Structure 1
Amino acid sequence: MKKKRTVHEVAFRLSYDLGTQITPQLGQLAFKPAPMQLRAMRRIWSTGGSTLLDIARTLNRDKSQVKRLIDELCEVELVKREPNPADKRSKILKLTNKGYDFFETIEKIEAVFSEQLTAGIPAKDLEAFFRVSDRLSDNLRELNKESSAK
């Protein structure tokens, strides 16, 4: 009898397989970013500047964890802190010129990898995958909020 597949089994396998394929490519970079650092940089890249709190919410981590992660990116001069004109108590995190160059390299690596990964998959199937994946992620975040409230 064939065992029924589960969403989390497929998600873990996909996550593992993605990591094992892209990690060697990213390992060729001078700085080897952790996945959370890449996600933080992507948030800064896509918004043009984010606060520590914005990134903590995006990563679903506490501010002290994110602060350490950002401190390391600042030490290697990929991210900088600037005064927040909207709130004098916080800083805006921005990519440095070196950070932009670094992230452009990441984007190129990921674009080639994405092209290879999605070869032969029709656009409508990819759209459905993204829609379902986003919904799964939203559901997980709601579950996390509910369990945190208890």
Structure 2
Amino acid sequence: MAKNRTVHEAAFRLSYDLSLQIAPELGRLSMKLAPQQLRAMRQIWTKEESTLAELSATLKRDKGQVTRLVDELCSLDMVKRVPNPNDGRSKLLKLTKKGYKFFETIEEIEAEFSQQLTKGISKEDLKVFFSVADQLSENLCNAG
């Protein structure tokens, strides 16, 4: 008798298969960044700017850890701190020209994989997938 599939097994398999396929492409990039650095850059890329507090919440890391991560990205000339016009006590984090160009390449690689990944899946099914994935993530964040 076959066992019922579980959500975490399906999510793990999808994550693992995707990482196996995309890793060689990302490995060809001139700069190797840690996953947390890429997540931080994605947050800044998506919002066009971010604060340390926003990054800390997104990455679910304390402010000290995120400060060190941002310091590393700044030393690599991928991210820069600029004055926050809405709050003189804080800085906004933005991608530098080098960081922007690097992340454009990441987006191109991911777009190719996205086409491969979603081949044969209808827009309606993808909409349901995103809705379910968002709900699963929200449930995980609110657990406990």
Query: TM-score, with normalisation over the residues of structure 1?
Result: 0.91
Q: Which deviations, in whole Å up to 9, do the C-alpha atoms of 1:88-139 show, x marking residues without a partner?
A: 2221100001111111111101001100111111111111110000000011
Counterpart of 1:10 in structure 2 is 10
Q: Which amino acid aligns with 1:101?
A: K
Q: Which deviations, in whole Å up to 9, do the C-alpha atoms of 1:49-81 show, x marking residues without a partner?
A: 101110111122221222222122111101011
Question: In 2, distance between residues paired with 1:8 and 1:70?
Answer: 31
Q: Which amino acid aligns with 1:114?
A: S
Alignment of 1:18-29 (within 5 A): 18-29=18-29
Q: Which deviations, in whole Å up to 9, do the C-alpha atoms of 1:16-75 show, x marking residues without a partner?
A: 111111111111111112222222111111212101110111122221222222122111
Question: Are 2:110 and 1:97 aligned?
Answer: no
Moved over 3 A (4+): none
Q: Which amino acid aligns with 1:97?
A: K
Question: In 2, distance between residues paired with 1:89 and 1:18?
Answer: 41
Counterpart of 1:120 in structure 2 is 120
Percent sequence identity over aligned pairs: 63
SS in 2 for 1:5: coil
Question: In 2, distance between residues paired with 1:60 and 1:29?
Answer: 27
Q: Which amino acid aligns with 2:61?
A: R
Question: In 1, distance between residues paired with 2:64 and 2:16?
Answer: 27
SS in 2 for 1:119: coil
Counterpart of 1:33 in structure 2 is 33
Question: In 1, distance between residues paired with 2:94 and 2:115?
Answer: 28
What stretches of structure 1 of length at least 5 have no aligned partner? Answer: none
Question: Are 2:78 and 1:78 aligned?
Answer: yes
Query: TM-score, with normalisation over the residues of structure 2?
Result: 0.94
Q: Which amino acid aligns with 1:79?
A: V
Q: Which amino acid aligns with 1:56?
A: S
Q: Which amino acid aligns with 2:67?
A: K
Aligned residues: 144
Counterpart of 2:142 in structure 1 is 142
Counterpart of 2:53 in structure 1 is 53
SS in 1 for 2:72: helix
